[in-house]
Amino acid sequence: MTTKIDYKKELEAASRGMIMIHDPELLIKLIVRMIVGKVQIKHAGMIVYDADRDCFVLNISKGETGFKIPAGFARFDNNHPIIALFNKKEYRTLVLNRNAIVTQDINKLIWQESVMREGSGKKELLYKVADQMHMIGAVACVPAYYSDKLQAVLLLGARNDGDKFDQQELDFFAALASDAAMAIRNAQLFIEAKREAEKTRDLFFRTTLVLASAIEIKDKYTHGHTERVTNYAVMIAQRMVENGSANFDQKFLENVHISSLLHDIGKIGVPEVILNKPGQLTHEEFEIMKRHTTNGVEILKPLLELKDALDGVKSHHERYDGGGYPEGLKGEQIPMVAAIIAVADTYDAMITDRPYRKGMSKEEAVAEIKSNILKQFHYQPAQALIELYELGKV
Amino acid sequence: MTTKIDYKKELEAASRGMIMIHDPELLIKLIVRMIVGKVQIKHAGMIVYDADRDCFVLNISKGETGFKIPAGFARFDNNHPIIALFNKKEYRTLVLNRNAIVTQDINKLIWQESVMREGSGKKELLYKVADQMHMIGAVACVPAYYSDKLQAVLLLGARNDGDKFDQQELDFFAALASDAAMAIRNAQLFIEAKREAEKTRDLFFRTTLVLASAIEIKDKYTHGHTERVTNYAVMIAQRMVENGSANFDQKFLENVHISSLLHDIGKIGVPEVILNKPGQLTHEEFEIMKRHTTNGVEILKPLLELKDALDGVKSHHERYDGGGYPEGLKGEQIPMVAAIIAVADTYDAMITDRPYRKGMSKEEAVAEIKSNILKQFHYQPAQALIELYELGKV
């Protein structure tokens, strides 16, 4: 008998760690694997409530032979006999003092006077439960509740030594299943919180794209420019990491993304006549056009979280040789995010058709960028674009 | 002796629920209150690691008399004797087989050969620990580790019956403290995830405001208009809930917020000459101006999450009597979010100075809105604005 008790300490200790596992699938796998390993039973499984689908799902069955689950049994709806037995108030009294349903109890329960007398469907339900347990090869089913709602059912196959589970063990499994249900619920809440954050983040990026692209309505030459430049810039930054010329972290890559989205936002302050003038701008007009860099910074300044992105907004028209604007920065004075956007921006401008001229071929544009390395462009982002072109990615 | 064991079951059961409490402060309070209540000790407390400040903080001390914590003891830095004893590798061997430090052990430990011989500062540390425990009135300190890092220390005052804690009890408290440390860590991770989501949400709203307001650069009459209309609209919606004329949920209120931010975004497609024309627009010009409603819808259509906000963008120039645009909707055909923005938008337009005319007084504007109820405006949002004016809030 002592061997039967031995596993408890180990299982209890292991179940303590469950709280820190925030992946429900993994959690359920670990629990079932632990039980099969420690308790020496042929197999075990767990049915877990899936709130999205409002039904119970057999998440895993594990063991020497595995459950023989007939097709279509992976989902257990709320009327499935095993679920109904544990979930419906009128049936729950049947298992209340046992904390579980065990096959060898079912006949005894059926013949109990109360079940016989009431004619409340309890007898029929118990027959069906026995049937289902036989089909899935479980000798005991242990429910786990959280906030008085059934969260999971632990399915236990027969012991390897053929012994029955005693009440003390069933109570232990009930506690374990309840811990597991809570850990699973905790993990689900975590995933929901992360998913929520992810959705908001995604909405932030897409709304920024849509609003930044809205300025293109006024600028009839640049339809889709913001989106394309953003894609090129992010790809260039990633390529620089891949080819070993930079070791940007996630935060930097994200900043390249945001900064590219917003790089031309200051054009909203440039009069339409200048924005849409076909051909060369006069000196005066060009001076006004140039202000879109510093205008962009003014517009975005209230957003303190985006202060790193201002580098790209302000300096994406600087040149490596110092001949750019608005500040005439040189070489390494130019922030890398701006140097990356400069390459992406110029590449897109060169290969896009304008009403007054056809765009270059990609080949020509890449050659042009190559010949302007260390004149207009920094070496690494220009080189990364050339590689992306050679790989057929831009 | 049995009474000493009795509380364990209760504490174990209670500690099971800890995982679902995602408020670290509350969690620690509950644990300490539970221990004091069940174990019958004079007082208990918990020191918890604060990652932000890289020190340990006495989160709570609770009990009949309470700890007598001398001033300045609420923070325990990493060199505090009790923290160092549990945290530093060279000292941890001193408590390893005990899972705790207990006052009556300290002298024994000091005189142990190893401590005497080594001259490693262990003796001095133990004297200081004894001193500190005496000061804070703890007879036992139980460390809780997570991932081999000290997360918390449970402080236990003397038993009411004067008995000593036996090893079995100390082991139990160590397990309990470890559960608590994990639950606290879990709760902290939850709060971090929520905070992260909150920050992104906030950035989304503020970026949308900044980008939507950017169109005001072109429209010289409307500086700050978007922000003011958003504030009025959200206040009107909240007021309608307060005065019982509507029962909007959080989602609706959020939609009023987003929709107001974006209500004029379509103006980005209206030529500057029309936007900035002082005085009356010609019929043709007005037709173009009117398109800012449907333009706005076109711009925002790709953002499926914001589809409810399109109602306000499209229909904020509809009139209750059907004389508005773009669709000439009537009365209850007009979505409520649009009816709310209509009131907010008109109020702001009336009270704001334009280069060619001075704004009305608030009093006049409110009277104007009142006289246009069921002509231009819906009753409830107009009434809510009137109430807000009477309360001095707009």
Residues of chain B positioned with their CB less than 8 A from the CB of A144: none
Nearest to B222 by CA among B268, B300, B276: B276
Domain end call among A190, A221, A244 = A190
Same domain assignment for residues A49 and A133: yes
Q: Cβ separation of B303 and A268 shorter than 8 Å?
A: no
CA atoms of B167 and A221, how far apart (whole Å): 80
Choose one of B188, B211, B234: the last residue of a domain.
Answer: B188
Distance from CA of B143 to the nearest CA of A (A): 16
Query: What pLDDT score does B341 carry?
Result: 98
In this structure, are B118 and B210 located in the same domain? no
d(CA B231, CA B256): 10
C-alpha B332/C-alpha A260 separation (Å) is 43
The answer to whether A295 and A269 have CB atoms below 8 angstroms apart is yes
pLDDT in tens, B46-89: 898 888 888 998 876 666 655 555 555 678 898 999 999 998 88
A36 lies in the same domain as A122: yes
Contact between chains at B208 and A211 (C-beta distance less than 8 A): yes
Q: Do residue A218 and residue B185 have CB atoms under 8 angstroms apart?
A: no
Minimal CA separation from A307 to chain B, in Å: 12
Q: Are residues B330 and B377 in the same domain?
A: yes
Boundary of a domain, candidates A156, A190, A224: A190
Task: Say yes or no: B169 and B206 in one domain.
Answer: no
**Alpha-carbon distance values, A86 to A75, A198, A221 (Å):** 16, 36, 66
Q: Tokens 């409110």 appear where? A: B366
* Residue B306 to residue B301: CA distance in whole angstroms: 8
C-beta atoms of B182 and A17 within 8 A: yes
CB atoms within 10 A of CB B277: 15
- Is A278 in a helix, a strand, or coil? coil
Domain annotation covers residue B266: yes
Task: Provide the domain count of chain A.
Answer: 2
Range of the domain at A57: 2-190
Residues B29 and B122 in one domain: yes
pLDDT of residue B1: 42
Helix (H, G, I), strand (E, B) or coil at B377: strand
Q: Which of A214, A299, A300 sits opposite B268 (nearest CB)?
A: A214
Residue type, B20: M
Tokens of B116: 């005497």
Closest to A100 (Cα-Cα) out of A172, A160, A4, A15? A172
- Identify whether residues A179 and A280 lie together within a single domain: no
Report how far residue B10's alpha carbon sits from residue A390's, in angstroms, rounded to the nearest whole number: 69
The answer to whether residue B194 is domain-embedded is no
CATH number of B105's domain: 3.30.450.40
Are B350 and B375 members of one domain? Answer: yes
In a domain, B205, yes or no: yes
* Number of neighbours of residue A314 by Cβ within 10 angstroms: 24
Same domain, A183 and A295: no
**Cβ neighbours for B331, distance < 8 A, ≥ 6 positions apart:** B320, B322, B378
A148: which residues sit within 8 A by CB, 6+ positions away?
Answer: none
Distance CA A385, CA A393 (A): 9
A390 C-beta neighbours (distance < 10 Å), count: 10
Does residue A17 sit in the same domain as residue A104?
yes
What's the Cα-to-Cα distance from B223 to each of A207, A249, B234, rounded to whole Å?
22, 39, 19
Please give the pLDDT value at position A61. 67
Interface of B with A in 292-331 (CB under 8 A): 295, 299-300, 302-303, 305-306
* Strand order across the beta sheet in which A75-76 lies: A75-76, A55-63, A43-50, A149-156, A140-146, A101-102
Q: Any idea what the CATH number is for the domain that residue B292 is in?
A: 1.10.3210.10
- Same-domain status, B176 and B205: no
Helix, strand or coil, per DSSP, at residue B392: coil
How far is A251 from chain B, CA to nearest CA, in Å? 14
Residue-by-residue pLDDT tens, chain A, 394 positions: 445 556 777 777 667 777 778 887 888 888 888 888 788 888 888 898 888 888 998 876 666 655 555 545 678 899 999 999 998 888 887 887 788 999 988 888 888 766 666 667 888 899 999 999 988 889 999 998 887 889 899 999 988 888 888 888 888 888 888 888 888 888 888 888 888 889 999 999 999 999 998 877 766 667 789 999 999 999 999 999 999 999 999 999 999 999 999 999 999 889 888 988 888 899 999 999 999 999 999 999 999 999 999 999 999 999 999 999 999 999 999 999 999 999 999 999 999 988 778 899 999 999 999 999 999 999 999 999 999 999 999 9
How confident is the model at residue A75, as a pLDDT? 85
Question: Which residues of chain B fall short of a pLDDT of 70?
Answer: 1-6, 13-14, 60-73, 113-119, 218-221
* Same domain? B161 vs B258: no
Size of interface A-B (CB pairs under 8 A): 113
Contact B385, B232 (CB under 8 A): yes
Task: Report if residue B193 sits inside a domain.
Answer: no
